[in-house]
A and B are shown apart, each in its own frame.
Chain A
Protein backbone atom coordinates (compact mmCIF):
# COMPACT_ATOMS: atom_id res chain seq x y z
CA UNK A 1 0.00 0.00 0.00
CA UNK A 2 1.14 3.48 -0.86
CA UNK A 3 0.26 4.81 2.61
CA UNK A 4 2.43 2.16 4.22
CA UNK A 5 5.30 2.96 1.87
CA UNK A 6 4.87 6.65 2.66
CA UNK A 7 5.15 6.04 6.39
CA UNK A 8 8.11 3.75 5.72
CA UNK A 9 9.71 6.67 3.86
CA UNK A 10 9.05 8.99 6.80
CA UNK A 11 10.76 6.72 9.32
CA UNK A 12 13.58 5.56 7.06
CA UNK A 13 16.74 6.88 8.73
CA UNK A 14 18.66 6.92 5.41
CA UNK A 15 16.46 9.81 4.30
CA UNK A 16 17.50 12.02 7.17
CA UNK A 17 21.14 13.01 6.73
CA UNK A 18 22.87 15.37 4.34
CA UNK A 19 21.97 18.69 2.77
CA UNK A 20 18.96 17.16 1.02
CA UNK A 21 17.97 15.09 4.04
CA UNK A 22 14.66 15.37 5.86
CA UNK A 23 16.26 17.08 8.85
CA UNK A 24 17.72 19.89 6.76
CA UNK A 25 14.54 20.32 4.74
CA UNK A 26 12.34 20.22 7.82
CA UNK A 27 14.43 22.95 9.40
CA UNK A 28 14.24 25.07 6.23
CA UNK A 29 10.50 24.59 6.23
CA UNK A 30 10.07 25.63 9.86
CA UNK A 31 12.46 28.52 9.48
CA UNK A 32 10.82 30.07 6.42
CA UNK A 33 7.32 29.54 7.85
CA UNK A 34 8.06 31.19 11.18
CA UNK A 35 10.02 34.01 9.58
CA UNK A 36 7.12 34.74 7.23
CA UNK A 37 4.60 34.81 10.07
CA UNK A 38 6.93 36.97 12.16
CA UNK A 39 7.30 39.54 9.39
CA UNK A 40 3.56 39.43 8.74
CA UNK A 41 2.95 40.05 12.45
CA UNK A 42 5.31 43.01 12.55
CA UNK A 43 3.33 44.53 9.69
CA UNK A 44 -0.20 43.51 10.57
CA UNK A 45 -0.40 43.74 14.36
CA UNK A 46 0.19 47.53 14.65
CA UNK A 47 -2.22 48.17 11.79
CA UNK A 48 -4.79 45.84 13.31
CA UNK A 49 -4.48 47.53 16.69
CA UNK A 50 -4.85 50.94 15.11
CA UNK A 51 -7.97 49.83 13.28
CA UNK A 52 -9.39 48.10 16.34
CA UNK A 53 -8.64 50.98 18.69
CA UNK A 54 -9.84 53.82 16.48
CA UNK A 55 -12.54 51.89 14.67
CA UNK A 56 -11.46 53.65 11.49
CA UNK A 57 -10.76 52.11 8.10
CA UNK A 58 -12.22 48.84 9.26
CA UNK A 59 -14.24 48.34 6.09
CA UNK A 60 -11.20 49.07 3.98
CA UNK A 61 -9.10 46.61 5.97
CA UNK A 62 -11.70 43.86 5.61
CA UNK A 63 -12.02 44.42 1.89
CA UNK A 64 -8.28 44.61 1.34
CA UNK A 65 -7.35 41.61 3.45
CA UNK A 66 -10.18 39.64 1.86
CA UNK A 67 -8.83 40.50 -1.55
CA UNK A 68 -5.30 39.54 -0.54
CA UNK A 69 -6.58 36.23 0.79
CA UNK A 70 -7.91 35.42 -2.68
CA UNK A 71 -4.51 35.83 -4.34
CA UNK A 72 -3.20 32.49 -5.54
CA UNK A 73 0.12 32.06 -3.75
CA UNK A 74 1.75 30.21 -6.64
CA UNK A 75 1.03 33.16 -8.91
CA UNK A 76 2.35 35.66 -6.37
CA UNK A 77 5.41 33.50 -5.88
CA UNK A 78 6.13 33.30 -9.61
CA UNK A 79 5.67 37.04 -9.97
CA UNK A 80 8.09 37.83 -7.16
CA UNK A 81 10.44 35.15 -8.45
CA UNK A 82 10.54 36.90 -11.81
CA UNK A 83 11.16 40.26 -10.12
CA UNK A 84 13.62 39.20 -7.44
CA UNK A 85 15.17 36.07 -8.87
CA UNK A 86 15.07 32.57 -7.49
CA UNK A 87 15.98 32.87 -3.86
CA UNK A 88 14.53 33.02 -0.40
CA UNK A 89 12.98 36.48 -0.86
CA UNK A 90 10.29 35.50 -3.35
CA UNK A 91 8.68 32.68 -1.35
CA UNK A 92 9.13 34.64 1.86
CA UNK A 93 7.24 37.62 0.44
CA UNK A 94 4.52 35.39 -0.97
CA UNK A 95 4.08 33.71 2.42
CA UNK A 96 4.03 37.05 4.23
CA UNK A 97 1.20 38.15 1.95
CA UNK A 98 -0.59 34.91 2.73
CA UNK A 99 -0.18 35.41 6.49
CA UNK A 100 -1.06 39.10 6.78
CA UNK A 101 -4.89 38.86 6.49
CA UNK A 102 -5.24 36.29 9.27
CA UNK A 103 -2.95 38.17 11.64
CA UNK A 104 -4.61 41.49 10.81
CA UNK A 105 -8.06 40.02 11.45
CA UNK A 106 -6.86 38.54 14.74
CA UNK A 107 -5.40 41.86 15.84
CA UNK A 108 -8.40 44.09 15.19
CA UNK A 109 -10.96 41.48 16.16
CA UNK A 110 -9.09 41.10 19.45
CA UNK A 111 -9.40 44.80 20.20
CA UNK A 112 -13.02 44.92 19.08
CA UNK A 113 -13.91 41.94 21.23
CA UNK A 114 -13.23 43.98 24.36
CA UNK A 115 -16.56 44.91 25.84
CA UNK A 116 -17.36 48.63 25.59
CA UNK A 117 -18.18 48.80 29.29
CA UNK A 118 -14.66 47.67 30.07
CA UNK A 119 -13.21 50.42 27.90
CA UNK A 120 -15.58 52.93 29.44
CA UNK A 121 -14.59 51.80 32.91
CA UNK A 122 -10.93 52.23 32.01
CA UNK A 123 -11.62 55.70 30.68
CA UNK A 124 -13.59 56.57 33.81
CA UNK A 125 -10.53 55.63 35.84
CA UNK A 126 -8.67 58.36 34.00
CA UNK A 127 -6.68 56.18 31.60
CA UNK A 128 -5.41 57.80 28.45
CA UNK A 129 -6.10 56.31 25.02
CA UNK A 130 -2.64 54.77 24.99
CA UNK A 131 -3.11 53.26 28.41
CA UNK A 132 -6.47 51.83 27.41
CA UNK A 133 -4.87 50.23 24.39
CA UNK A 134 -1.83 48.78 26.13
CA UNK A 135 -3.36 47.84 29.49
CA UNK A 136 -6.91 46.91 28.58
CA UNK A 137 -7.46 46.24 24.93
CA UNK A 138 -4.24 44.45 24.03
CA UNK A 139 -4.21 42.02 26.99
CA UNK A 140 -7.89 41.24 26.58
CA UNK A 141 -7.58 40.84 22.83
CA UNK A 142 -4.48 38.66 23.00
CA UNK A 143 -6.27 35.31 22.72
CA UNK A 144 -7.89 36.39 19.45
CA UNK A 145 -4.60 37.74 18.13
CA UNK A 146 -2.88 34.47 18.93
CA UNK A 147 -5.79 32.74 17.21
CA UNK A 148 -5.13 34.82 14.09
CA UNK A 149 -1.43 34.02 14.19
CA UNK A 150 -2.29 30.37 14.71
CA UNK A 151 -4.43 30.37 11.57
CA UNK A 152 -1.66 32.14 9.68
CA UNK A 153 0.94 29.61 10.80
CA UNK A 154 -1.28 26.73 9.67
CA UNK A 155 -1.74 28.23 6.22
CA UNK A 156 1.89 29.18 5.87
CA UNK A 157 3.27 25.79 6.96
CA UNK A 158 1.06 24.09 4.40
CA UNK A 159 1.84 26.56 1.64
CA UNK A 160 5.58 26.75 2.34
CA UNK A 161 5.84 23.58 0.24
CA UNK A 162 5.82 26.02 -2.67
CA UNK A 163 9.14 27.51 -1.57
CA UNK A 164 10.82 24.62 -3.34
CA UNK A 165 9.28 25.83 -6.59
CA UNK A 166 11.85 28.61 -6.71
CA UNK A 167 14.74 26.72 -5.21
CA UNK A 168 14.29 27.85 -1.61
CA UNK A 169 14.15 24.35 -0.17
CA UNK A 170 11.75 23.06 2.44
CA UNK A 171 9.71 19.88 2.43
CA UNK A 172 8.04 20.84 -0.84
CA UNK A 173 11.14 19.67 -2.70
CA UNK A 174 10.19 16.07 -1.97
CA UNK A 175 6.66 16.68 -3.20
CA UNK A 176 7.86 18.05 -6.53
CA UNK A 177 10.53 15.39 -6.90
CA UNK A 178 8.09 12.61 -6.02
CA UNK A 179 5.56 13.91 -8.50
CA UNK A 180 8.02 14.16 -11.38
CA UNK A 181 9.72 10.83 -10.78
CA UNK A 182 6.57 8.89 -9.88
CA UNK A 183 7.93 8.29 -6.40
CA UNK A 184 4.54 8.69 -4.79
CA UNK A 185 5.68 7.22 -1.48
CA UNK A 186 8.15 10.09 -1.15
CA UNK A 187 5.51 12.60 -2.18
CA UNK A 188 3.01 11.34 0.34
CA UNK A 189 5.70 10.90 2.99
CA UNK A 190 6.68 14.55 2.66
CA UNK A 191 3.01 15.52 2.87
CA UNK A 192 2.72 13.51 6.08
CA UNK A 193 5.65 15.46 7.50
CA UNK A 194 4.00 18.76 6.56
CA UNK A 195 0.78 17.64 8.22
CA UNK A 196 2.67 16.56 11.34
CA UNK A 197 4.44 19.91 11.44
CA UNK A 198 1.13 21.75 11.10
CA UNK A 199 -0.40 19.70 13.90
CA UNK A 200 2.61 20.34 16.13
CA UNK A 201 2.24 24.09 15.60
CA UNK A 202 -1.51 23.83 16.23
CA UNK A 203 -0.89 22.20 19.59
CA UNK A 204 1.70 24.79 20.61
CA UNK A 205 -0.53 27.69 19.63
CA UNK A 206 -3.70 26.29 21.18
CA UNK A 207 -1.82 25.97 24.48
CA UNK A 208 -0.44 29.48 24.04
CA UNK A 209 -3.87 30.84 23.16
CA UNK A 210 -5.30 29.48 26.38
CA UNK A 211 -2.32 30.63 28.41
CA UNK A 212 -2.67 34.27 27.39
CA UNK A 213 -6.27 34.64 28.55
CA UNK A 214 -6.08 37.10 31.48
CA UNK A 215 -6.93 35.47 34.79
CA UNK A 216 -9.99 37.63 35.43
CA UNK A 217 -11.48 36.90 32.03
CA UNK A 218 -10.87 33.19 32.32
CA UNK A 219 -12.70 33.12 35.63
CA UNK A 220 -15.61 35.15 34.40
CA UNK A 221 -16.14 33.18 31.25
CA UNK A 222 -16.61 30.02 33.28
CA UNK A 223 -19.49 31.49 35.25
CA UNK A 224 -21.15 34.14 33.23
CA UNK A 225 -23.23 36.80 34.91
CA UNK A 226 -26.76 36.42 33.63
CA UNK A 227 -27.11 40.13 33.12
CA UNK A 228 -23.78 40.84 31.45
CA UNK A 229 -24.98 40.64 27.88
CA UNK A 230 -27.86 42.93 28.64
CA UNK A 231 -25.52 45.59 29.89
CA UNK A 232 -23.26 45.55 26.84
CA UNK A 233 -26.20 46.26 24.63
CA UNK A 234 -26.78 49.59 26.27
CA UNK A 235 -23.49 51.32 25.81
CA UNK A 236 -22.91 54.81 27.08
CA UNK A 237 -23.06 57.46 24.37
CA UNK A 238 -19.32 58.01 24.31
CA UNK A 239 -16.63 55.40 24.10
CA UNK A 240 -18.46 53.00 21.88
CA UNK A 241 -15.97 51.84 19.27
CA UNK A 242 -18.02 51.48 16.15
Chain B
Protein backbone atom coordinates (compact mmCIF):
# COMPACT_ATOMS: atom_id res chain seq x y z
CA UNK B 1 0.00 0.00 0.00
CA UNK B 2 1.19 3.50 -0.77
CA UNK B 3 1.54 5.67 2.30
CA UNK B 4 0.28 9.22 2.27
CA UNK B 5 3.71 10.92 2.12
CA UNK B 6 4.79 8.68 -0.75
CA UNK B 7 1.59 9.43 -2.57
CA UNK B 8 2.04 13.12 -2.00
CA UNK B 9 5.60 12.99 -3.33
CA UNK B 10 4.32 11.16 -6.37
CA UNK B 11 1.65 13.75 -6.96
CA UNK B 12 4.19 16.54 -6.56
CA UNK B 13 6.46 14.88 -9.10
CA UNK B 14 3.58 14.46 -11.53
CA UNK B 15 2.57 18.11 -11.13
CA UNK B 16 6.16 19.23 -11.65
CA UNK B 17 6.32 17.20 -14.85
CA UNK B 18 3.08 18.70 -16.06
CA UNK B 19 4.25 22.23 -15.34
CA UNK B 20 7.54 21.58 -17.11
CA UNK B 21 5.68 20.26 -20.12
CA UNK B 22 3.37 23.26 -20.13
CA UNK B 23 6.27 25.68 -19.89
CA UNK B 24 8.20 24.09 -22.70
CA UNK B 25 5.00 24.20 -24.74
CA UNK B 26 4.69 27.93 -24.12
CA UNK B 27 8.27 28.57 -25.12
CA UNK B 28 7.68 27.37 -28.64
CA UNK B 29 4.06 28.31 -29.14
CA UNK B 30 4.31 32.01 -29.83
CA UNK B 31 7.41 32.64 -31.88
CA UNK B 32 6.13 36.02 -33.01
CA UNK B 33 6.42 37.59 -29.61
CA UNK B 34 10.17 37.55 -29.77
CA UNK B 35 10.55 38.13 -33.48
CA UNK B 36 8.37 41.17 -34.03
CA UNK B 37 10.45 43.66 -32.07
CA UNK B 38 13.97 42.73 -33.10
CA UNK B 39 13.18 42.77 -36.81
CA UNK B 40 13.29 46.56 -36.79
CA UNK B 41 17.02 46.15 -37.17
CA UNK B 42 17.32 46.99 -40.84
CA UNK B 43 20.17 44.62 -41.64
CA UNK B 44 18.62 41.48 -40.22
CA UNK B 45 16.49 39.35 -42.51
CA UNK B 46 13.81 37.46 -40.59
CA UNK B 47 12.92 34.11 -42.12
CA UNK B 48 9.73 32.40 -41.07
CA UNK B 49 8.31 28.98 -41.73
CA UNK B 50 5.01 27.21 -41.40
CA UNK B 51 4.50 24.66 -38.66
CA UNK B 52 5.35 21.98 -41.23
CA UNK B 53 8.68 20.19 -41.17
CA UNK B 54 9.20 20.36 -44.92
CA UNK B 55 8.55 24.11 -44.96
CA UNK B 56 11.10 24.59 -42.21
CA UNK B 57 13.74 22.75 -44.24
CA UNK B 58 13.11 25.07 -47.20
CA UNK B 59 13.31 28.10 -44.90
CA UNK B 60 16.60 26.77 -43.60
CA UNK B 61 17.90 26.49 -47.18
CA UNK B 62 17.17 30.19 -47.70
CA UNK B 63 18.70 31.05 -44.33
CA UNK B 64 21.99 29.30 -44.99
CA UNK B 65 22.59 30.75 -48.47
CA UNK B 66 21.81 34.23 -47.14
CA UNK B 67 24.20 33.78 -44.23
CA UNK B 68 26.89 32.56 -46.61
CA UNK B 69 26.48 35.81 -48.53
CA UNK B 70 27.00 37.90 -45.40
CA UNK B 71 23.42 38.64 -44.37
CA UNK B 72 22.39 38.44 -40.74
CA UNK B 73 19.50 36.05 -40.50
CA UNK B 74 16.97 35.59 -37.74
CA UNK B 75 15.03 32.34 -37.81
CA UNK B 76 11.42 32.39 -36.78
CA UNK B 77 10.17 28.94 -37.61
CA UNK B 78 6.99 26.93 -37.00
CA UNK B 79 4.53 29.82 -37.17
CA UNK B 80 1.41 27.83 -37.93
CA UNK B 81 -1.28 29.14 -40.19
CA UNK B 82 -1.29 31.47 -43.16
CA UNK B 83 -3.79 33.70 -41.32
CA UNK B 84 -1.09 34.34 -38.74
CA UNK B 85 2.11 34.73 -40.66
CA UNK B 86 1.04 36.58 -43.81
CA UNK B 87 -0.17 39.63 -41.84
CA UNK B 88 3.17 39.55 -40.00
CA UNK B 89 4.94 39.52 -43.35
CA UNK B 90 2.92 42.56 -44.46
CA UNK B 91 3.77 44.32 -41.19
CA UNK B 92 7.46 43.67 -41.73
CA UNK B 93 7.95 41.38 -38.75
CA UNK B 94 8.98 38.61 -41.14
CA UNK B 95 10.87 39.14 -44.40
CA UNK B 96 10.96 35.74 -46.09
CA UNK B 97 8.48 32.87 -46.07
CA UNK B 98 8.59 29.72 -48.16
CA UNK B 99 5.11 29.52 -49.65
CA UNK B 100 3.08 27.36 -51.98
CA UNK B 101 1.96 29.27 -55.05
CA UNK B 102 -1.66 28.12 -55.40
CA UNK B 103 -2.59 28.51 -51.75
CA UNK B 104 -0.79 31.84 -51.54
CA UNK B 105 -2.76 33.14 -54.52
CA UNK B 106 -6.07 31.94 -53.11
CA UNK B 107 -5.33 33.58 -49.79
CA UNK B 108 -5.11 37.01 -51.45
CA UNK B 109 -7.63 36.38 -54.21
CA UNK B 110 -10.49 34.18 -53.05
CA UNK B 111 -11.96 34.09 -56.57
CA UNK B 112 -8.74 33.18 -58.33
CA UNK B 113 -9.28 30.70 -61.14
CA UNK B 114 -5.66 30.06 -62.09
CA UNK B 115 -4.78 26.39 -61.72
CA UNK B 116 -1.62 25.78 -63.72
CA UNK B 117 1.87 26.75 -62.65
CA UNK B 118 2.36 29.61 -65.10
CA UNK B 119 -1.14 31.07 -64.68
CA UNK B 120 -0.65 31.17 -60.94
CA UNK B 121 2.73 32.87 -61.19
CA UNK B 122 1.35 35.70 -63.32
CA UNK B 123 -1.81 36.02 -61.22
CA UNK B 124 0.30 36.23 -58.07
CA UNK B 125 2.09 39.34 -59.30
CA UNK B 126 -1.21 41.22 -59.36
CA UNK B 127 -2.72 39.67 -56.26
CA UNK B 128 0.04 40.25 -53.74
CA UNK B 129 -0.43 43.37 -51.58
CA UNK B 130 1.95 46.29 -51.70
CA UNK B 131 5.28 45.59 -50.09
CA UNK B 132 5.25 41.88 -50.82
CA UNK B 133 6.56 40.09 -53.85
CA UNK B 134 6.92 36.50 -54.91
CA UNK B 135 10.32 35.43 -56.19
CA UNK B 136 10.64 32.81 -58.93
CA UNK B 137 8.93 29.56 -58.07
CA UNK B 138 10.90 26.37 -57.70
CA UNK B 139 10.09 23.36 -59.82
CA UNK B 140 9.26 21.48 -56.64
CA UNK B 141 5.59 21.15 -55.85
CA UNK B 142 4.06 20.05 -52.61
CA UNK B 143 0.40 19.82 -53.41
CA UNK B 144 -2.65 17.71 -52.81
CA UNK B 145 -2.84 14.63 -54.96
CA UNK B 146 -4.98 11.61 -55.46
CA UNK B 147 -2.72 8.69 -54.82
CA UNK B 148 -3.41 4.95 -55.13
CA UNK B 149 -1.52 1.77 -54.36
CA UNK B 150 0.52 0.13 -57.07
CA UNK B 151 -1.78 -2.92 -57.03
CA UNK B 152 -4.83 -0.76 -57.54
CA UNK B 153 -3.13 1.08 -60.36
CA UNK B 154 -2.13 -2.13 -62.13
CA UNK B 155 -5.34 -4.08 -61.55
CA UNK B 156 -7.53 -1.27 -62.86
CA UNK B 157 -5.05 0.15 -65.34
CA UNK B 158 -5.27 3.56 -63.75
CA UNK B 159 -2.47 6.13 -63.87
CA UNK B 160 -4.46 9.30 -64.34
CA UNK B 161 -7.62 10.78 -62.90
CA UNK B 162 -9.16 10.44 -66.38
CA UNK B 163 -8.85 6.64 -66.07
CA UNK B 164 -10.86 6.52 -62.86
CA UNK B 165 -14.32 6.73 -64.42
CA UNK B 166 -13.98 3.21 -65.84
CA UNK B 167 -13.32 1.66 -62.42
CA UNK B 168 -16.40 -0.28 -61.32
CA UNK B 169 -15.88 -0.66 -57.58
CA UNK B 170 -16.91 2.01 -55.09
CA UNK B 171 -14.16 4.54 -54.62
CA UNK B 172 -13.53 6.15 -51.25
CA UNK B 173 -11.16 9.04 -50.74
CA UNK B 174 -9.20 9.30 -47.50
CA UNK B 175 -8.38 12.92 -46.78
CA UNK B 176 -8.80 15.72 -44.28
CA UNK B 177 -12.45 16.64 -43.92
CA UNK B 178 -11.81 19.94 -45.70
CA UNK B 179 -11.28 17.92 -48.90
CA UNK B 180 -15.05 17.55 -49.05
CA UNK B 181 -15.51 21.31 -49.35
CA UNK B 182 -12.58 22.10 -51.68
CA UNK B 183 -13.05 22.64 -55.43
CA UNK B 184 -10.81 19.62 -56.10
CA UNK B 185 -12.84 17.45 -53.72
CA UNK B 186 -15.59 14.96 -54.64
CA UNK B 187 -17.57 17.65 -56.50
CA UNK B 188 -14.59 18.58 -58.65
CA UNK B 189 -13.82 14.94 -59.39
CA UNK B 190 -17.41 14.51 -60.53
CA UNK B 191 -17.63 17.61 -62.68
CA UNK B 192 -14.15 17.52 -64.21
CA UNK B 193 -13.47 13.79 -64.51
CA UNK B 194 -16.96 12.28 -64.12
CA UNK B 195 -15.87 10.17 -61.16
CA UNK B 196 -18.15 9.54 -58.20
CA UNK B 197 -16.32 9.06 -54.91
CA UNK B 198 -17.22 8.78 -51.26
CA UNK B 199 -15.25 10.48 -48.52
CA UNK B 200 -13.62 9.25 -45.37
CA UNK B 201 -12.26 12.00 -43.16
CA UNK B 202 -8.82 11.24 -41.76
CA UNK B 203 -7.41 14.34 -40.19
CA UNK B 204 -3.67 13.80 -40.36
CA UNK B 205 -3.12 15.59 -43.69
CA UNK B 206 -2.03 12.55 -45.63
CA UNK B 207 0.15 11.28 -42.79
CA UNK B 208 0.69 7.82 -41.39
CA UNK B 209 -2.99 7.11 -40.70
CA UNK B 210 -4.00 8.01 -44.24
CA UNK B 211 -1.20 5.84 -45.59
CA UNK B 212 -2.37 2.99 -43.39
CA UNK B 213 -5.95 3.34 -44.62
CA UNK B 214 -4.76 3.26 -48.23
CA UNK B 215 -2.62 0.18 -47.64
CA UNK B 216 -5.46 -1.57 -45.81
CA UNK B 217 -7.84 -0.82 -48.63
CA UNK B 218 -10.15 1.10 -46.30
CA UNK B 219 -9.83 3.82 -48.91
CA UNK B 220 -8.86 3.43 -52.56
CA UNK B 221 -7.68 6.99 -53.08
CA UNK B 222 -5.77 9.11 -50.63
CA UNK B 223 -4.92 12.79 -50.63
CA UNK B 224 -1.19 12.72 -49.95
CA UNK B 225 1.11 15.68 -50.59
CA UNK B 226 3.26 15.14 -53.65
CA UNK B 227 6.49 15.75 -51.71
CA UNK B 228 5.62 13.24 -49.02
CA UNK B 229 8.27 10.53 -48.69
CA UNK B 230 5.58 7.91 -48.00
CA UNK B 231 4.61 7.85 -51.69
CA UNK B 232 7.97 6.46 -52.75
CA UNK B 233 8.45 4.39 -49.62
CA UNK B 234 5.22 2.49 -50.28
CA UNK B 235 5.40 2.38 -54.06
CA UNK B 236 2.23 4.41 -54.32
CA UNK B 237 1.14 5.88 -57.62
CA UNK B 238 0.12 9.52 -57.74
CA UNK B 239 -2.56 9.90 -60.39
CA UNK B 240 -1.87 12.42 -63.10
CA UNK B 241 -4.14 15.42 -63.35
CA UNK B 242 -4.27 16.37 -67.05
CA UNK B 243 -7.18 18.79 -66.59
CA UNK B 244 -5.57 20.70 -63.72
CA UNK B 245 -8.25 19.90 -61.19
CA UNK B 246 -5.78 20.34 -58.38
CA UNK B 247 -4.23 23.76 -58.04
CA UNK B 248 -0.46 23.74 -58.55
CA UNK B 249 1.57 24.44 -55.42
CA UNK B 250 5.08 25.29 -56.49
CA UNK B 251 7.41 26.23 -53.69
CA UNK B 252 7.55 30.01 -53.96
CA UNK B 253 9.49 32.38 -51.72
CA UNK B 254 7.39 35.38 -50.75
CA UNK B 255 9.48 38.29 -49.48
CA UNK B 256 9.17 41.79 -48.09
CA UNK B 257 10.78 45.00 -49.39
CA UNK B 258 13.73 44.46 -47.09
CA UNK B 259 14.94 41.65 -49.33
CA UNK B 260 17.11 43.48 -51.87
CA UNK B 261 18.24 42.21 -55.26
CA UNK B 262 21.35 40.63 -53.81
CA UNK B 263 19.37 38.66 -51.25
CA UNK B 264 16.74 37.76 -53.83
CA UNK B 265 19.48 36.40 -56.11
CA UNK B 266 20.66 34.15 -53.26
CA UNK B 267 17.19 32.78 -52.68
CA UNK B 268 16.76 32.26 -56.42
CA UNK B 269 19.80 29.99 -56.37
CA UNK B 270 17.94 27.68 -53.99
CA UNK B 271 14.74 27.74 -56.02
CA UNK B 272 16.66 26.79 -59.18
CA UNK B 273 17.89 23.50 -57.71
CA UNK B 274 14.79 22.62 -55.72
CA UNK B 275 12.99 19.93 -57.72
CA UNK B 276 10.20 17.76 -56.36
CA UNK B 277 12.60 14.82 -56.18
CA UNK B 278 15.07 16.93 -54.24
CA UNK B 279 12.31 18.03 -51.89
CA UNK B 280 11.21 14.44 -51.33
CA UNK B 281 14.81 13.55 -50.53
CA UNK B 282 15.02 16.41 -48.03
CA UNK B 283 11.73 15.38 -46.46
CA UNK B 284 12.84 11.76 -46.22
CA UNK B 285 15.90 12.81 -44.26
CA UNK B 286 13.58 14.49 -41.79
CA UNK B 287 10.80 11.91 -41.45
CA UNK B 288 12.80 8.71 -41.89
CA UNK B 289 16.33 9.59 -40.78
CA UNK B 290 15.17 12.13 -38.16
CA UNK B 291 17.88 14.62 -39.03
CA UNK B 292 17.62 18.25 -37.98
CA UNK B 293 16.51 20.78 -40.59
CA UNK B 294 19.79 22.70 -40.29
CA UNK B 295 21.85 19.58 -41.00
CA UNK B 296 19.60 18.49 -43.85
CA UNK B 297 19.82 21.93 -45.46
CA UNK B 298 23.57 22.15 -45.03
CA UNK B 299 24.22 18.77 -46.63
CA UNK B 300 21.95 19.57 -49.57
CA UNK B 301 23.47 23.00 -50.22
CA UNK B 302 26.99 21.60 -50.06
CA UNK B 303 26.01 18.91 -52.52
CA UNK B 304 24.65 21.56 -54.87
CA UNK B 305 27.76 23.70 -54.47
CA UNK B 306 25.87 26.57 -52.87
CA UNK B 307 27.73 26.57 -49.58
A residues bordering B, Cβ < 8 Å? 20, 55, 58-59, 62-63, 66, 70, 78, 81-82, 85-87, 164-167, 173, 176-177, 180-182, 242
Contacts and interface: CB of A to CB of B under 8 A. Distances in A.
Contact of B212 (A58, A82, A177): A82
Interface residues of B, number: 25
Interface in B207-224: 208-210, 212-213, 216, 218-219
Interface in B172-188: 174, 176-178, 180-181
30 contacts: A55-B1, A58-B2, A62-B2, A81-B209, A81-B212, A85-B212, A86-B174, A86-B200, A86-B202, A86-B210, A86-B212, A86-B216, A164-B201, A164-B203, A165-B202, A166-B202, A166-B203, A166-B209, A167-B201, A167-B202, A173-B177, A176-B176, A176-B178, A176-B201, A176-B203, A177-B181, A180-B176, A180-B178, A181-B178, A242-B1
A70 B176 contact: no
Contacts of A166: 202-203, 209
Interface string B85-102: 000000000000000000
Contacts of A81: 209, 212
Question: Lowest 9 CB-CB distances: which A-B pairs, in order?
Answer: A180-B178, A59-B2, A177-B177, A86-B213, A165-B203, A167-B200, A85-B216, A81-B209, A176-B203
A78 B219 CA distance: 17
A152 B271 CA distance: 53
Contacts, number: 71
Main secondary structure of the interface of A (DSSP, over half): helix
B178 A167 contact: no
Interface of B: 1-2, 7, 10, 14, 83, 174, 176-178, 180-181, 200-204, 208-210, 212-213, 216, 218-219
A82 B216 CA distance: 10
Contacts of A180: 176-178
B86 to A, nearest CB: 13
B177 A176 contact: yes
Given A63-B2, A66-B14, A78 B181 contact: no
A177 B210 CA distance: 16
Nearest to A85: B216
A55 B178 CA distance: 52
